[in-house]
């Protein structure tokens, strides 16, 4: 299993806190276009068929693509699977429209490196007020004054299919938009592409905003300037990604919902795929290397975790 910080090489002069936030035209204009299309879908082309298309396409791209493909497999290597399945899931993840596989890994690993430093820029920490953080995260980018060096892992840099997806990740929306148009006209495009992308992008930011500010915690990473928090009530709609304190504690775990009552649909999908032999070697907290900086905030945090996983795995 690859540790997610292996791609980030920081020398003694690197800083996670010094930098400036600048407007990103491509990111900003894309969000505004998708948001405008989403408003038109609801106000101009309301239909149950369009709503069903929005839900189905969002579930596939967010669960199979973003959570299982981009996050748990490509970035964290939390489970093993055939190469064709990894490529399929990662391709579906690009349809969320946050970036290609290389761009997503760079953004994720740089952010995680920064959050684990004693001092971290407010951009990475989501410390600014709600609306300012929304503007920063959805329309801007952070340019560190002294950034670390990012080096993509060999399994990504050497994969021609994934690198082709990286070069054309935004254009991947076009074939599906044409299909949605053929099936449902302009309403199909507005519901299946515009509204889906706008809600996915905004929802991803909102979960990140709340998951790094306040909420339940079982674990603390000593020395890290930013801690993760579990976001109550959103386990189902985030496919398990809302249990962010768990993820900060055990980033390599294929299961994110680690305590009773923490729904993790992404994990449920992995269990089904495991029964069919399509995934294997699913990592869990007990199989991960010990982290000296990890400290339980509740006396029974480890015992409850172990008992729950033994009963439900």
pLDDT single digits (tens) 229-254 = 999 999 999 999 999 999 999 999 99
The reported pLDDT for the residue numbered 311 is: 87
CB neighbour burial string for 62-81, b if at least 16 within 10 angstroms, e if fewer = bbbbbbbbbbbbbbbbbbeb
With a cut of 60, say whether residue 83 has pLDDT above it.
yes
Reply yes or no on whether the pLDDT at 313 is more than 80.
no
Residue 90: inside a domain: yes
Q: What is the pLDDT of residues 249-287, one digit of tens each?
A: 999 999 999 999 999 999 999 999 999 999 999 999 999
| Residue 76 lies in domain | 8-221
The answer to the question of residue 233 being in a domain is: no
Residue 287 lies in a domain: no
Distance from C-alpha of 82 to C-alpha of 204, rounded to nearest angstrom:
27
Count of domains forming the chain: 1
| 279, part of any domain | no
Neighbour-count burial of 8, counting CB atoms closer than 10 A to its CB (0-12 exposed, 13-18 middle, 19+ buried): buried
pLDDT score of 4:
44
Q: What is the per-residue pLDDT for 229?
A: 98
- For residue 304, the model assigns a pLDDT of 93
| 156-207 pLDDT per residue, tens | 999 999 999 999 999 999 999 999 999 999 999 999 999 999 999 999 999 9
Q: Cα separation of 1 and 109, whole Å?
A: 15
230 found inside a domain: no
Q: Which of 287, 284, 289, 288 has its CA nearest to residue 312?
A: 284
Is 280 within the bounds of a domain?
no
Residue 64 confidence (pLDDT) above 50:
yes
Residue 2 confidence (pLDDT) above 70 = no
Is the pLDDT higher at 308 or at 70?
A: 70
Residue 1 has pLDDT above 80, yes or no: no
Task: Give 113-152 pLDDT, tens digit per residue.
Answer: 999 999 999 999 999 999 999 999 999 999 999 999 999 9
Q: Which helix (H) or strand (E) holds 22?
A: strand 19-23
| 19-45 pLDDT per residue, tens | 999 999 999 999 999 999 999 999 999
More confident residue, 313 or 209: 209
Whether residue 234 is contained in a domain is answered as: no
Nearest-angstrom CA–CA distance, 189 and 183? 9
Residue 122 lies in a domain: yes
Whole-number Cα distances in Å, 195 to 43, 72, 148, 158, 186:
12, 25, 36, 34, 12
**pTM for this model (two decimals):** 0.96
Residue 124 half-sphere exposure, CB side, CA atoms within 13 Å?
Answer: 28
């Amino acid at each position: 299993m690859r540790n997610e910080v292996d791609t980030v090489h920081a020398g003694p002069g690197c800083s996670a806190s010094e930098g400036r936030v600048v407007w990103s035209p491509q990111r900003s204009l894309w969000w505004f276009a998708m948001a405008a299309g989403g408003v038109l879908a609801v106000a101009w082309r309301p239909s149950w068929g369009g709503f069903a298309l929005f839900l189905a396409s969002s579930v596939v791209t967010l669960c199979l693509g973003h959570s299982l493909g981009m996050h748990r497999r490509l970035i964290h290597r939390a489970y093993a699977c055939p190469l064709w399945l990894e490529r399929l899931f990662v391709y579906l993840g690009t349809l969320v429209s946050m970036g290609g596989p290389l761009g997503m890994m760079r953004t994720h690993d740089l952010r995680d490196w920064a959050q684990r430093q004693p001092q971290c820029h407010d951009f990475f920490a989501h410390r600014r007020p709600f609306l300012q953080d929304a503007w920063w995260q959805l329309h801007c980018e952070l340019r560190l004054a002294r950034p670390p060096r990012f080096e993509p892992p060999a399994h990504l840099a050497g994969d021609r299919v994934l690198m082709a997806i990286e070069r054309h990740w935004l254009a991947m929306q076009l074939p599906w938009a044409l299909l949605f148009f053929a099936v449902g006209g302009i309403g199909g495009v507005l519901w299946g592409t515009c509204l889906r992308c706008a809600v996915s992008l905004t929802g991803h930011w909102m979960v990140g905003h709340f998951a790094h500010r306040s909420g339940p915690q079982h674990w603390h990473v000593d020395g890290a300037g930013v801690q993760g928090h579990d976001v109550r009530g959103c386990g189902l709609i985030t496919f398990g990604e809302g249990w962010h304190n768990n993820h900060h504690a055990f980033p390599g775990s294929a299961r994110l919902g680690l305590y009773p009552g923490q729904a993790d649909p992404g994990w449920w999908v992995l269990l089904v795929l495991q029964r069919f032999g399509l995934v294997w070697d699913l990592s869990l907290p007990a199989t991960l290397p010990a982290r000296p900086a990890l400290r339980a905030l509740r006396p029974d945090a480890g015992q409850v975790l172990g008992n729950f996983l033994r009963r439900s795995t």
